[in-house]
Structure 1
Amino acid sequence: MKKILGNIALILGTILISFTFILTIIYNTLISTDWHERVYTSRVPVILYFIYLIVLLILIIGYPILKKINTKILLTFVLSLFILAGLYLVFNADTYLRPADQMSVWNSVKNINSGNYIDFKRGQYLDFHPLQLGLVTFERLMAAFSENITFMYFLNLLFNIGSIILLWLISNIVYKNVVVQNLTAIISVLFAPLLFNTLFVYGNVYGLTFLLGAVYTQLLSLNKKGKKRIIYSICTVILAGMAYLVKPNFEIGIVAIAIVYFLAIFREKRYIILVFGTLLVIPTVNVTLEKIYSYEVNKNISLNGGVPKITYLVMGLNETSDGRIGWYSGYNDQSFLNNDYNAYKTEKVAKKDLRKRIDYLKKHKTYTRKIFVKKVISTWTDSTYQSIWNGPLPTWGGKINTDIMRIIYIKDGESKLYKFIRYGSVVIVWTIFLFSIICTLLYLMGKMNIDENYLLYAVIFFIGGFLFHTIWETKAQYMYQYTASLIPVASVGLCKVMDFIWNRIKGLRSK
């Protein structure tokens, strides 16, 4: 039964990853760097296909070298380069947070830490979005050390380094092979969002590191016995709770972890405890936050209050005046405002709007197919996953302090350096998707023996993210964690292809 259920998930995941890969081969999306967050989609330049073939050829030629390089030395070397680039961003970026969620959360942090609870009042930020209280809590702890934004950038850099190390550690469990570990280190460092999100003071960065930590300890708990298993299991639950605390969207990853534990029940029934233990972190975090802030603010705080979730679903199914499908349009906040900050009234209106929209989509099936494809394209084909857009852009009020920063953060990605990063990132994304597909297919065909637990997690996590944002509010920046989690899987697939080619070459030489 475990094998059947696991294979069903892997087959579905392979289909969705393949669909996404095909879209990235054809299209590339650029997000405007102005207030309007416009989506510009164009065809991938033909020359990039030839460049990619050359890159693959270089990798294949370099296979014997990758086999000989000590993986710890290579990790140290590429991380050193990553750290240097990250420190350049940290100390040269303007300490300006754009007037959106990251600024609103940070202002709430400073207000609450100074004893000012204005953000909880009617019509204020935390009245609109009480689910941000987890991130507010985490950043309050960080702000106790320093309220300097440069410090927060540096903290992000540390978390991104942590994510790279965790991906490398995970790859050692997934498939113990020096080439796989070396490829994981190289691809992770070259994956643009892990560098450029250093300047994104928001929960995505912290959440991914905590989630990868939870997955790593889960793998250890599934491969160890006795006290170590218990310790690693507890760590998994705690780290999963931290991921959810800073970014509720990571509940998709928590569910994926729970599913992996559920499939392990067919091996040992005791894992049922961890299925429920993992899932219970979500209500536990919610209830804890409600009690803490209800006591601190001296008023009833409910995380179910504020803007109703259904408004995000309505927004996710609608088209804006500039042709964006499912991207932020302000419908959620405006609807809450129009209904006098009343969640019940807002939800009632949103349900009517949702019914109207679904009826329209049912009657216009051709249009429906087109807009969902368009939505997926705009969501998944930005090879940088908005990571540069997330930074302190000058069009949002930020200042550019160096020539290099000016070239990278120029308006609408017009510079040659921006284009190099953008299209270089396409090559990395193609590699992740293509070889994840190959790895999964080889496993399904019984051609490869790897740790199936991580393969299942990464694929299920991708399925969850793909399906969720297909109907929910979407943005390219929400997707990078799903792609990043596939890196160890892709490294195994690429290693197997390289190994196959070299074995064929050796076979021909021996004849």
Structure 2
Amino acid sequence: MKQTLNIFKIIVLIFAIPILLYLSIGSLFINARLEVSQVSEKTVFVHTLWFLLLPALIIFVAVIYKLKDKISSLNTGKLAKILIAYTYVFTTCWIIIANVHEGSDQGQVFKAAQQMLNGDFSTFNVDGYMGMYPFQLGLALLYQPFFLLFGNTTAFVWQLINVFLICFIQFFLYKITCMMTDDRFSINLFLILEFLDIPLLLFVSFVYGTIIGHSLALTALFFLMKACKNEEHTILNILASVFFITFSALVRNNNLIIIIAMCILVIGCFLDSKRGKLLLFIPLVVISFSISHKAVFEYYEWACKGQYTNIGSYGQPAALAVAMGLSENDELANGWFNGYTWDKYIELGCDPKVAEEFAIERISESLGRFAASPSYAFSFFAEKLNSMWLNPDFQSLWNSGRHGNYIGESPVIYNLYYGELNILIESIMSIVMFIIYLGSFLYILLGNKKISWQNMIFAMILIGGFLFHLFWEAKAQYTIVYYVILFPYAAMGYSLLISKHDKRQSQH
């Protein structure tokens, strides 16, 4: 069993090392940007000032090396509380000053939730929003009671809720980091780096379920890791984990990637500890998600009083999103969402089977082009990956700027989008992104097979997200959740680098 577990770890390393190396090198030389002044999500690639990024990295490493003892001696609990307080103040101020309103898919989900609450279920028409994207019903159902209580201020209320959810994200990342290592320097360095996780803080105004789903997923992961590490309350921890990850996946379907990674984690922990109770997580989470997913559809079938039936079979086939993800895009970056699936689905008569057959043909054509010209395939995927993973703000500023009533109301915010502040904040986020990617790479490279199986979980989630979005439709906002979970890795990576340097110094 130990040998099988080692094989699992080697497979994770084989994928994680090149992915993180690619992101580290890429973030040193390239930044992908979305200009707020543009209506479309057109990515502009710019060369980084790598000759400034490298000195910034050297200064960062030199400072934490010099201050290692002081960082280690900091009161971890107090530092965590200061971080949460800082996050609360920053995010609250941002949603008030930036004055962002829901738009695009956010607005569509809110509109559909409000309509259904008022007895209008026309959104389930084959060419309606929920008729095309029924997977959004979990999020709509979550929003509906808030419309009963808060009416048209529901979006703002959810921005306020996001303030607390981002604090939860940082809290549970902190608790998970403490389970991953007992090295005070690593934990405190993680907390210090979290002060610079600006994209996460800016996502507070984004009410599309990203923050909700991610906070629930990290909560679920915390309980599952407790179950894997301790024999006490194993069943209760598993049940809590199943509840939170099911809720998370209902809100954001992409979190199925995290469910798969958690199932692999459980299998590895079983091989390591031979604790059969851990395997209960897998059937429980499958049953829980399946039943709750079906229950949402049946609720809406009941609510619309038979006007629409078999809602679970509605919508665009997943193959259509893959076809778009593997298509060139003249207006945006390759593979980006450009309305192609919406227009083509309507053109094909909103027939899921016909649309799926069409999509499979388009996918086959794309794969044929890639196979015929490896150089073309490389350039295609390089552009797609760079546009998603090398955007320092992960589309947070564009989302806020496109839907914010900031012009004329706040000169500071206007400057943040268009002026010197924009250059400054983008530069800071670019430096931090490079530091995080490189630190994560160092952790996986230097830690190698010595990394415990539980600590591999973030690498597994990253691999799943990276491979999934290689084929799925692209947006920079999709990858923020994977960037956030790399902060503990980065802290432990630089700690390993310093430790190895100290050992070499002592040997000489």
Shift of 1:104: 0.3
User: Once superposed, what is the RMSD of the aligned Cα atoms?
Assistant: 2.0
Whole-angstrom CA distance in 1 between matches of 2:147 and 2:165: 16
Whole-angstrom CA distance in 2 between matches of 1:210 and 1:204: 10
The SS at the match of 2:45 is strand
Q: Which residue of 1 aligns with 2:477?
A: 477
Whole-angstrom CA distance in 2 between matches of 1:479 and 1:432: 14
**Match of residue 294, structure 1, among 294, 298, 301:** 301
Shift of 1:500: 4.2
Whole-angstrom CA distance in 2 between matches of 1:465 and 1:195: 21
Q: Which residue of 2 aligns with 1:54?
A: 59
Q: Which residue of 1 aligns with 2:198?
A: 192
Q: Does 1:327 align with 2:328?
A: no
**Match of residue 276, structure 2, among 269, 274, 294:** 269
Matches within 5 A, 1:167-186: 167-186=173-192
Report Cα offsets for 1:186-237 as digits up to 9, x if no partner: 22231122100001111111111011011100110112224x1111100110
Q: Is the CA contact (8 Å cut-off) linking 1:97 and 1:392 kept in structure 2?
A: no
- Report the more deviating stretch, 399-408 or 455-464: 399-408
Report Cα offsets for 1:5-62 as digits up to 9, x if no partner: 1222123212211112111111111112222211111111122222222222222222
Q: Which residue of 2 aligns with 1:241?
A: 246
Q: Which residue of 2 aligns with 1:64?
A: 69
Tell me how many residue pairs correspond in the alignment. Answer: 497
Shift of 1:504: 6.2
Distance change (3 Å), C-alpha of 1:438 and 1:300: same
The SS at the match of 1:48 is helix
Shift of 1:255: 0.5
Q: Does 1:465 align with 2:465?
A: yes
Matches within 5 A, 1:278-357: 278-298=285-305, 299-322=308-331, 324-357=333-366
Matches within 5 A, 1:16-415: 16-33=19-36, 34-45=38-49, 46-98=51-103, 100-147=104-151, 148=153, 149-226=155-232, 228-266=233-271, 267-298=274-305, 299-322=308-331, 324-393=333-402, 399=407, 401-410=409-418, 415=419
Shift of 1:248: 0.1
The SS at the match of 1:388 is helix
Whole-angstrom CA distance in 2 between matches of 1:288 and 1:6: 37
Q: Is the CA contact (8 Å cut-off) linking 2:61 and 2:494 kept in structure 1?
A: no
Give the letter for the 1:205 counterpart. I
Whole-angstrom CA distance in 2 between matches of 1:338 and 1:14: 43
Distance change (3 Å), C-alpha of 1:421 and 1:304: farther
Whole-angstrom CA distance in 2 between matches of 1:219 and 1:138: 27
Give the letter for the 2:188 counterpart. N
Shift of 1:445: 5.1
The SS at the match of 2:311 is coil
Matches within 5 A, 1:500-511: 500-501=500-501, 507=506
TM-score, normalised to structure 2, is 0.93
Shift of 1:272: 2.5
The SS at the match of 1:146 is helix
Q: Which residue of 2 aligns with 1:452?
A: 453
- Report the more deviating stretch, 189-198 or 432-441: 432-441
Residue ranges of structure 1 left out of the alignment (5+ in a row)? none
Distance change (3 Å), C-alpha of 1:422 and 1:287: same
Report Cα offsets for 1:347-378 as digits up to 9, x if no partner: 22222222222222222322112111121111
Q: Is the CA contact (8 Å cut-off) linking 1:408 and 1:418 kept in structure 2?
A: yes
Whole-angstrom CA distance in 1 between matches of 2:181 and 2:445: 16
Shift of 1:262: 1.4
Identity %: 20
Q: Which runs of 4+ in 1 moved over 3 A?
A: 141-145, 279-282, 396-400, 498-505
Whole-angstrom CA distance in 1 between matches of 2:492 and 2:112: 44
Distance change (3 Å), C-alpha of 1:356 and 1:175: same
Give the letter for the 2:216 counterpart. F
Residue ranges of structure 2 left out of the alignment (5+ in a row)? none
Report Cα offsets for 1:164-183 as digits up to 9, x if no partner: 11111111100012222212
Whole-angstrom CA distance in 1 between matches of 2:15 and 2:286: 23
Report Cα offsets for 1:279-333 as digits up to 9, x if no partner: 3343223211111111111221433421111111110011112362100121110
Give the letter for the 2:193 counterpart. I
Distance change (3 Å), C-alpha of 1:216 and 1:472: same
The SS at the match of 2:39 is coil
Whole-angstrom CA distance in 1 between matches of 2:112 and 2:332: 33
Give the letter for the 1:20 counterpart. L
Q: Which residue of 2 aligns with 1:427?
A: 431
Whole-angstrom CA distance in 2 between matches of 1:398 and 1:309: 37
Whole-angstrom CA distance in 1 between matches of 2:172 and 2:361: 45
Whole-angstrom CA distance in 2 between matches of 1:181 and 1:483: 18
Whole-angstrom CA distance in 2 between matches of 1:295 and 1:64: 62
Q: Is the CA contact (8 Å cut-off) linking 1:385 and 1:479 kept in structure 2?
A: yes
Give the letter for the 1:420 counterpart. L
The SS at the match of 2:263 is helix
Q: Is the CA contact (8 Å cut-off) linking 2:220 and 2:241 kept in structure 1?
A: yes
The SS at the match of 2:312 is coil
Q: Is the CA contact (8 Å cut-off) linking 1:260 and 1:457 kept in structure 2?
A: yes
The SS at the match of 2:400 is coil
Whole-angstrom CA distance in 2 between matches of 1:182 and 1:305: 49
**Match of residue 7, structure 1, among 6, 10, 22:** 10
Distance change (3 Å), C-alpha of 1:240 and 1:346: same
